[in-house]
Amino acid sequence: MSITIRKIDLILISILVLFFSENVFAQTTGKIAGKVTDIKTGVPLPGTNILVENTNLGAAADQSGDFYIINLSPGIYTVKAQMIGYESVIVKNIRVSVNRTAYVNIIMTQTVLKGQEVIVEAEKVTIKKDQTSTIKNVSSDKMEILPIESMTDVVSMQAGVVDGHFRGGRLTEVSYLIDGIQVDESFSGEGRSVDIEPETIEDLEVITGTFNAEYGKAMSGIVNAVTKEGRSKFHGSFSGAFGNYFTPHNDIFIGLKEGELNRNQDYKFHLSGPILKDDITFFLNYRYQNNKNHLNGIRRFVVTDYSDFSADDSTSWYSEYNGDSAYVAMNRSKNRSIMGKFTAKLFKNLKVSLLYTLNNDEWHSYDHAFKYNPDGMAFSLRKSEMYAFNINHMLSSSLFYELKVSLLDNDYGWYLYKNPLDSNYIHDAYFTNAGCGFYTGGQQKGHVKRVMEDINTKFDITWQLNKKHSLKSGFLYTQHTLDNQYYEIRNKYSGMEEEGVWEWDIIDGKKKRKYLYYEPLLMPDSSIYSDIYTV
């Protein structure tokens, strides 16, 4: 049987208008706000110049001494305050998180002559006064000290999240974003199509409570990851890790060797820095994992071995054993992850970036029935690529827009051989397991091929009306294309007399049963349908 499912041109257009809020941001930036006062009198100091070092961004305090600086990428910043008649004040280590406001209150001291700069450290905000929902921001420096290996590990450590479920909701009720671009898995709706490494994340926002209409698809939670950008100085790292398993239960976990220290392997490489001073930067990250893991099988049978245990008299049972009795890893996996990001500041207030990600995964899911015939078990593979182009244009100190265009390709397969008509497929008669026992030959012959393509265009414009209120509007266009194919590989001679014809053969001095008539065939489609959705 063959089932082909095609869903083409799923178009979603969402318009977000007139959001007045104290917390309206782009999905990839944050804000610094605060107040400037005199140390003796507490009087506000209007006109104080506030500059963010190593950027073109800044502000002047208003009549109340208040200031705000918007459209800041997540990271750690240094702010300098200057005013005639006062000592300059430098505030270091201000942490800006995505969709958050970092508050900085600056106190300045009068001086007659030019004095030294006053340097202070920004205080960690323990209570966020503007927070109206359950939000957790995890910065890159925090992730460096956490015992994690993936973005999923970080999310799972947050309150209210258990195995990907947010506050008891379904997996399909969570939406995932990378640099503000939705990357939800469009076939099942569970999880995400793109995985990025923790080393590539500058700030991770996890929302487990209420959220505004900008996240209209989600019902239980939001995970928004903002990736790192290259800096003005070169930075690189390389690491390799090796591991094995040790257990006294060798009868259960068979085939584990104490000296096999490289059974699990993990390599990481990272390089970032400038291409053209501070105007063009790059960030590259690569990770390769090759894990045999802890579950082994024994190759006692090969796929062409035949067994017959149907007789009531055990003396009439027949079975062929032609395996080499080697241990075979049965839940092994190989994973390759690449992320590259190029950022260019073309003009003073215009920044563009190009993001590319690649996930190439291959894995075997343990099946106990194939413990002694591991070569007959199918495996899974996935290749996911994302291309994203982003424009961030600061029109004024209180107005900017972002335009994001992305393409996501996600290919999934589950089969023994990529070609469903491969000549290595064998007769179904070998595929026996004596009821609920182990398979003593044969192959899994399901064949799944799934291709998904998502095209997104997102535009946001944000206007900071005053210190506390913003106005935001925008639109989102999404197109999903899905082609899912499932086949069962059958014998061309199925149902014919020739199907059961066999003869004895001698291979390596051993007598084997050989079936003469077999040719892999894909059965005609039993159901085909195409749906076009426009919302």
* Rounded mean pLDDT for each run of 10 residues along the chain, 535 residues in total: 44 44 61 92 93 90 92 92 90 90 91 66 58 80 91 90 86 89 84 91 87 76 92 93 89 88 94 90 97 95 91 86 94 97 91 96 95 96 96 92 95 94 93 83 93 93 86 88 89 90 85 90 57 42
d(CA 394, CA 116): 33
Q: Which CATH architecture has domain 131-228?
A: Beta Complex (2.170)
Instruction: For the chain, give every domain's residue range.
Output: 25-121, 131-228, 229-534
Q: What share of the chain is helix, strand, coil (3-state, %, to 5)?
A: 5, 50, 40
Position 113 scores a pLDDT of: 64
Q: Where are the beta strands (DSSP E) in 277-332?
A: 280-291, 296-298, 307-308, 318-319, 327-329
β 280-291/221-227 pair status:
unpaired
Q: Which CATH architecture has domain 25-121?
A: Sandwich (2.60)
β 525-534/2-16 pair status:
parallel
Residue 506's alpha-carbon distances to 49, 323, 487, 514, in angstroms, are: 91, 16, 34, 9
Neighbours of 90 (CB within 10 A): 17
Characterize 493-519 residue by residue with b for buried, 16 or more Cβ atoms within 10 angstroms of its Cβ, and e for exposed: beeeeebeeeeeeeeeeeebbebebbe
Question: Does this chain's domain 25-121 share its CATH topology with 131-228?
Answer: no
Tokens of 179: 């640099």
Residue 15's alpha-carbon distances to 477, 532, 533, in angstroms, are: 9, 21, 18
Tokens of 426: 């064998």
Task: Look at residue 159 and give its three-state secondary structure.
Answer: coil
Position 116 scores a pLDDT of: 61
d(CA 26, CA 226): 11
Position 17 scores a pLDDT of: 44
Position 132 scores a pLDDT of: 61
